[in-house]
Amino acid sequence: MTQPTSANADPESSPPLLVDDRGGVRTLTFNRPGAFNSFDLALKDATLAGLTAAAADDSVRAVVITGAGRAFSAGQDLKEHLELVRANDSRIATTVRDFYNVAISLITSMPKPVIAAVNGTAAGAGAAFAYACDLRIAAEPASFSMAFAGVGLSADSGASFILPRLVGAGRASRMMLLGERVDAAEALRIGLVDEVVPSEDLMNRVNAVAQDLAQGPTRAYAWIKASLHHAWTSDLASALEFENGAQSDLFASADHHEAIAAFVAKRPPRFQGR
């Protein structure tokens, strides 16, 4: 299911989402560089299909999301949006529920790590896609902005839930109300991203991290993600009980048994994701 990964292909023939598989890592690349990888109907359909397939494929043990060209994603394609508004198209009223909500849920619930390789501009829902990932590695020219208020809209794509948990309520309010643009250095300082690297090093660094994760205990990663997400909306007693269930499952896992055997034998573990 791997497709060509060149972002310089004829835009009329090139798919809106590029899919590349290497060593257990699946890279999904938004491929509308001429439109700053904004989400039109075609890219929305391809993104949902790509995320659904990545989540379900056991051979995929880590996922990378990035953008072709100079942007990660500028969010909703406003040019197409205006055309749909003028046509009184019913998809306007359902796009948040049917696309953005589903896509963010797929990223956050996927039982494997997801890395955002933020190569450039990430705005509106495009920025929210990066926030939803488990790790965010940014290139030096990257920037983040909550562009919703500037077009007379509120936040969507989980930004109102996730962003305050990353940077705090005050900074999240500032970004959303004022449309504040945050560059990569500031994003690192406030905890919005985990690393910042030169543009030419971005994909090498992301791929190195993704390969490390792909060779790791995938089943444990799934429980770690689930535990963190459960704890966001639970009390301590509920979190403790959830952790107990996770550990009870993992105590019986092949990867845990392998890790213990490797520790005793003083060798690196060979995880199989089981």
Confidence of residue 1 (pLDDT cuts 50, 70, 90): very low
The topology under which CATH files domain 17-214 is 2-enoyl-CoA Hydratase; Chain A, domain 1 (3.90.226)
Model pLDDT, residue 2: 41
pTM of the model: 0.92
Question: At the top level of CATH, which class does the domain 218-265 belong to?
Answer: mainly alpha
Confidence of residue 274 (pLDDT cuts 50, 70, 90): confident
Map tokens 């705090």 to a residue: 168
In SS3 terms, the chain reads as CCCCCCCCCCCCCCCCEEEEEECCEEEEEECCHHHCCCECHHHHHHHHHHHHHHHHCCCCCEEEEEECCCEEECCECHHHHHHHHHCCCCHHHHHHHHHHHHHHHHHHHCCCCEEEEECCEEECHHHHHHHHCCEEEEECCCEEECCCHHHCCCCCCCHHHHHHHHHCHHHHHHHHHHCCEEEHHHHHHCCCCCEEECHHHHHHHHHHHHHHHHCCCHHHHHHHHHHHHHHHCCCHHHHHHHHHHHHHHHHCCHHHHHHHHHHHHCCCCCCCCC
Among 10-14, 145-149, 270-274, the range scoring the smallest mean pLDDT is: 10-14
Looking at residues 21-33, what average pLDDT do you find?
97
- Residue 172 token pair: 């999240």
Confidence of residue 180 (pLDDT cuts 50, 70, 90): very high
B/e letters for 91-110, b = 16+ CB within 10 Å, e = fewer, are eeeebbeebbebbbebbbeb
Confidence of residue 127 (pLDDT cuts 50, 70, 90): very high
Model pLDDT, residue 53: 98
Domain boundaries, the chain: 17-214, 218-265
Domains 17-214 and 218-265 equal at CATH topology level: no
Model pLDDT, residue 85: 77
pLDDT tens-digit map of 71-93: 999 999 989 888 887 888 888 88
pLDDT more than 70, % of the chain: 96
CA-angle at 50, arms to 49 and 51, nearest 5°: 95
- Whether the predicted pLDDT of 6 surpasses 60: no
- Give me the amino acid identity at 2: T
Instruction: Indicate the average pLDDT of the chain.
Output: 93
